Amino acid sequence: MPETGTIAKGRWAGWWRAAIPLVLLVGIGWLTPRPATITPQGWRLLGIFAATVAGLLLQPLPGGAVVLVAVTLSTIWGGLTIEQALSGYANESVWLVIAAFFISRALINTGLARRIALGFVRWFGRTSLGVCYALSLSDMVLASIIPSNAARSGGVILPIVRSVAELYGSQPGPTAALLGSFLMTAVYQSICVTAAMFLTGQASNPMAAQIATESFGYRVDWMSWFTAGIVPGLCSLALVPLLVYRLNPPEIQRTPEAAAFATRELRAMGPVSRAEWLVLAVFLGVCGGWMTTRWHHLDITVTALMGACALLLTGVLSWEDVKNERAAWDIFIWYGGLLMLGKALNAAGVTTEFAKAVGQAFGGAGWVTLLAIALPVYFYSHYAYASITAHILAMYSPFLAVLAAKGAPLGLAVYAFACYTNLAAGLTHYGTTPGPMYFAHGYVSLGRWWKVGAAVSVLNLAIWSSAGFLWWKFLGIW
């Protein structure tokens, strides 16, 4: 009987996860009064969009399946042709992410990514704080080309965190406070910062850049994001571990064995292989190409595809590797569909109507006041999101529209909301895909994790709203 009750309860929960998106679809698309400036098809698109966001949060189906359903419905009820509905899959940003995933697979498969991380630990890992800085810098380097914080953490960073903790007998439970609890919390907070520093910091960043470019006419590329993020990002990477060190201090402060461990592991890996040299050459070539786009005018997607092709031609990356890169093809489905939905909503005038409504609600408030209100609201709303993608999809374009309508400098709003979405992922243990990966190891209690996340959020907001804004002013972004 208890087992039957459990199954019934699970089915009930599954029905609710499917029912809520359906209610939003019908309630918004057909039952809610629409503004006269928006067509019935455009209003139904809003219902499909809202249902998609709810589906991504509640997961009645995997995210890619939810978006595929939405793409199909957009041709039935949203007034789009099949060519328009599938147009997102021809978008250059989608293929940028795909190509970068292939390059990241070569980095991980050849061991070069792990060698980079172990090298940082060998150089800086003689203290517990040094281990954190070493792994944070490793993730920063890898984030310049690996557009998946989950791949970086799961394939490279997190195994080293766990290994170093276990070197000192720090296991989940009574010995967690020796070292593991600090490393798990501090490194996780740092990877949220590195995700904010690069266009390739995590998979949804190119979507934010595409929204800024196509919907608001503000071009964002790899180099401009890197330039904007480097100064406030380095400030956060320097100060966040120090704050976590005070809030969740390790009992073991000196860790010479960590540096020795890294040295042993590097010796075991042997000399740098031919495949690693080739991947390193492609890595540097692609990043160099991205940095110099404004000189040679080669699209960054073409540069990334050239890198992936070079790895295929040299045999470092096999076609089987490409076919088996499941995360890349999953992102291809949901990312292309979401880009199309966002573009269609903007074309239907939905975001414009939202901006008008919010502007009327705030009346005489200027853009400075509105930005001061909007940024923390946007940031702390991430408590409700288990995905950076869902947060950007639901709130990025509307908030930009509101600020743009109030006359705010577009560059300031574009980078602030895009970067803050990544930083906000540190609030909880579910804020982005690596969150559950770190938390599931059991080194940190839920209360401590959230306490650290809340404190770090204040520090990050202070850094990026002061040093970040000043740096962006110096760059002429606003």
Asked if residues 266 and 161 have their Cβ atoms less than 8 Å apart, the reply is: no
Which position has the token pair 């910062």? 193
Supply φ then ψ for residue 254, to 5 degrees. Answer: -105, 130
**Domain contains 164:** yes
DSSP state of 476: T
Number of domains forming the structure of the chain: 2
**Domain contains 129:** yes
Last residue of a domain, one of 327, 347, 382: 327
Q: Are residues 39 and 161 in the same domain?
A: no
Is the pTM for the entire model greater than 0.95?
no
Q: Are residues 111 and 237 in the same domain?
A: yes
**Domain contains 66:** yes
Q: Are residues 243 and 306 in the same domain?
A: yes
DSSP state of 406: T
**Domain contains 230:** yes
Q: Report the SS3 class of residue 154.
A: helix
What pLDDT, on a 0 to 100 scale, did the predictor assign at position 294?
80
DSSP state of 204: T
**Domain contains 418:** no
Per-residue pLDDT of the chain (478 residues; tens, 9 = 90+): 344 444 445 555 568 888 999 999 999 999 999 888 899 999 999 999 889 988 887 888 888 899 999 999 999 999 999 999 999 999 888 898 899 889 989 998 999 999 999 999 999 989 999 999 999 999 999 999 998 898 899 889 999 999 999 989 999 999 999 999 999 999 999 999 999 999 999 989 999 999 999 889 999 999 999 999 999 999 999 999 999 999 999 999 999 999 999 999 999 999 999 999 999 999 999 999 998 888 888 888 999 999 999 999 999 999 999 999 888 898 899 888 988 988 888 788 887 787 777 667 766 778 999 999 999 999 998 997 878 988 898 889 889 988 998 899 999 999 999 999 999 999 999 899 899 889 989 999 989 999 999 999 999 999 999 999 999 999 999 9
**Domain contains 195:** yes
What pLDDT, on a 0 to 100 scale, did the predictor assign at position 359?
67
What pLDDT, on a 0 to 100 scale, did the predictor assign at position 13?
57
Asked if residues 56 and 66 have their Cβ atoms less than 8 Å apart, the reply is: yes
Q: Are residues 123 and 150 in the same domain?
A: yes
Q: Are residues 226 and 317 in the same domain?
A: yes
Last residue of a domain, one of 42, 69, 85: 85
What pLDDT, on a 0 to 100 scale, did the predictor assign at position 451?
96
Last residue of a domain, one of 85, 106, 126: 85
Alpha carbons 107 and 110: distance in angstroms, whole number = 6
Range of the domain at 290: 92-327
Q: Are residues 118 and 254 in the same domain?
A: yes
Q: Are residues 2 and 146 in the same domain?
A: no
**Domain contains 104:** yes
Which is nearest to 104 in space by CA: 143, 140, 134, 159?
Answer: 143
**Angle at alpha carbon of residue 190, lines to 380 and 180, rounded to 5°:** 110
* Exposure string over 126-147, b if 16+ CB within 10 A, otherwise e: bbbbbbbbbbbbbbbbbbbbbb
Alpha carbons 195 and 453: distance in angstroms, whole number = 16
What pLDDT, on a 0 to 100 scale, did the predictor assign at position 214?
87
Alpha carbons 251 and 176: distance in angstroms, whole number = 9
Q: Are residues 130 and 189 in the same domain?
A: yes
Q: Are residues 115 and 246 in the same domain?
A: yes
DSSP state of 464: I
Q: Are residues 205 and 113 in the same domain?
A: yes
Q: Which residues are CB-contacts of 379 (< 8 A; sequence separation ≥ 6)?
A: 420, 423, 424, 457, 461
Alpha carbons 160 and 154: distance in angstroms, whole number = 10
Q: Are residues 147 and 259 in the same domain?
A: yes
**Domain contains 191:** yes
Q: Are residues 22 and 113 in the same domain?
A: no
Helices (H), 348-406: 350-362, 367-380, 388-391, 397-405
Tokens matching residue 386:
């288990």
